[in-house]
Amino acid sequence: MDISTSSFHRAHKVSLLRRQPSSPVNSVSVIGFSLPRISSPSLDKCLWKRRCSGLVRACVAVEEKTRTAIIRIGTRGSPLALAQAYETRAKLQAKHPELTEDGAIHIEIIKTTGDKILSQPLADIGGKGLFTKEIDEALINGHIDIAVHSMKDVPTYLPEKTILPCNLVREDVRDAFICLTAASLAELPAGSVVGTASLRRKSQILHKYPSLAVEENFRGNVQTRLSKLQGGKVHATLLALAGLKRLSMTENVASVLSLDEMLPAVAQGAIGIACRTDDDKMASYLASLNHEETRLAVACERAFLETLDGSCRTPIAGYAAKDEEGNCYFRGLVASPDGTRVLETSRKGPYVFEDMVKMGKDAGQELLSLAGPGFFGK
């Protein structure tokens, strides 16, 4: 697919509706007024009726102002995160007519530490959990009812009092190559700089194309990274195809990398939705959205990641999918950060939760054994 420079001049704007502070309801003020004393019984009766009428109107107005949403969705504020929240809202409304009423679903934007600190690599400031911590806290504290996450940002452990029972249908898991001058990594001249914040991508790029260089603190949302690319800070970058599809920005893609060229991050392309452990109502809503095939694949991959004790300092990739025979086929990879060593393994077995989790763990144990002590520089 050819890329034209003009495609980067398109405006990709997301309008964020911010809730304004509730303004006082004028009719409420009647509650605090005392009416003048008038001796005429007929006038007293008339004024009393008016006063009561005002009180009724005030109560109705207060009720309208204080009515809360049935579901409050917590999300990061990036265009991609909002697209995922809107997708969740649309799916909920399609399944549950009562959620189509105005105000029934409210989207609450929560700025995370990972969004605030962009000048340092994630590994130096605490890892991927920085994209979920504040949202998890809002969920636990009852400020939101459900939390929508990119599953590849979710740590392998979940905070107490929360569960993640729902994965939406998975998008394309592959990575996309974005460049103004070349159609693939193989076409980049020696010395070209590829921007990425992912050690997984960095290690696989350098393993296959050691003549290239990698700028590893290439952070920011999709729009920011494309802007940096256009500004000449790097020659090319890699982005998750799933995110570009959800943002309707696939016109920026020069080519799509095969799974053999670039194995994806664990849970890439999957959206996860969490709720509190004691919230049966939300759990019921989420059960209606869950895509079980995706949930099981993500569980397999996360078992692999957890076994390897993966972090942002550890180049790890993993992908589980249903094959033509209906079985689970899993591929896993670990690498040294500089790409000089890459270890891979695979598993095949029944597409059943317990079997798939066991496959992920077994694959992780095998690679730990092969890697040996000190492989990741821990």
Which residues face 318 on adjacent strands? 332
- Output the tens digit of pLDDT for each of the chain's 378 residues: 444 444 433 333 333 333 333 333 322 222 233 333 334 444 445 444 444 454 444 444 333 333 578 999 999 999 999 999 999 999 999 999 999 999 999 999 998 765 555 545 555 445 556 668 899 999 999 999 999 999 998 999 899 999 999 999 999 999 999 999 999 999 999 999 999 989 999 999 999 999 999 998 887 889 999 999 999 999 999 999 999 999 999 998 999 999 999 999 999 999 999 999 999 999 999 999 999 999 999 999 999 999 997 655 789 999 999 999 999 999 999 999 899 999 999 999 999 999 999 999 999 999 999 988 777 554
292-377 under CATH 3.30.160.40, yes or no: yes
Closest CA to 35 of 44, 27, 22, 26: 44
- Prediction pTM value: 0.79
User: Which residue type, as a one-letter code, is found at position 198?
Assistant: S
Question: What pLDDT score does 249 carry?
Answer: 95
175-256 under CATH 3.40.190.10, yes or no: yes
| Catalytic pick among 145, 153, 175, 362 | 153
Helices (H), the chain: 41-66, 79-95, 113-116, 122-125, 133-140, 199-208, 222-230, 241-246, 280-287, 292-307, 353-371
Question: What pLDDT score does 48 carry?
Answer: 47
Closest CA to 115 of 129, 127, 130: 130
| Domain residue limits, the chain | 68-168+270-290, 175-256, 292-377
Q: 341-378 in b/e burial notation, b at 16+ Cβ within 10 A?
A: ebbebebeeebeeebbbebbbbbbeebbeebeeebbee
CATH assignment of 68-168+270-290, given 1.20.1050.140, 2.60.120.620, 1.25.40.10, 3.40.190.10? 3.40.190.10
Same fold yes or no, 68-168+270-290 and 175-256: yes
153 is catalytic: yes
**Would you give the DSSP letter of residue 5?**
G
